[in-house]
Amino acid sequence: MPTRRCGTWPTRRPPSSIPRRTPTYADGIPRRATNVGPVLAEGRLTRVAGRVCMDQFVIDLGPGSRASAGDEVVLFGGRPGEPTAQDWASATDTISYEIVTRLGARVPRIFVGTAAQQHEGQVHA
């Protein structure tokens, strides 16, 4: 059974845990990440399951998942085991700079290290 109305991902049997996640292509996530975008959830690497839509995409965590609303999902980061912008670029046939520069204003920015000191007291969208 495909996921949702614009689905292209057949779900597993028995029923899978398929949480909806954002950001999406309205936020700059490439639509080409359909069925291929790497995601870290529940401490393991998985993929976007189905089409990246305007305001949602889903991931298939399989049966027995303990995921719940508010759990962290990493699209790209810098810690070991996390997908990188280059992983997303390779999956969507582009370059890593396009992945990070296309993120829109709805995606909050958190400055760390030296960058955090330079931007202290400033609010950025």
Q: What is the pLDDT along the chain (125 residues), one digit of tens a residue?
A: 444 445 555 555 444 555 555 678 888 889 999 999 999 999 999 999 888 888 888 888 888 888 887 888 888 888 899 999 999 999 999 999 999 999 888 888 777 666 556 655 554 44
Residue 1 domain-assigned (yes or no)? no
pLDDT of residue 121: 55
Full residue range of the structural domain in which residue 87 is found? 20-118
pLDDT of residue 64: 82
**Looking at the chain, which runs of residues are DSSP E strands?**
20-21, 38-41, 44-47, 57-58, 73-74
pLDDT of residue 23: 78
Residue 79 domain-assigned (yes or no)? yes
Give the closest residue to 71 by CA, choosing from 103, 98, 39, 38.
39
Residue 8 domain-assigned (yes or no)? no
Cis link prior to 14 (omega < 30° from 0)? yes
Residue 13 domain-assigned (yes or no)? no
Q: What is the pTM of this model?
A: 0.74
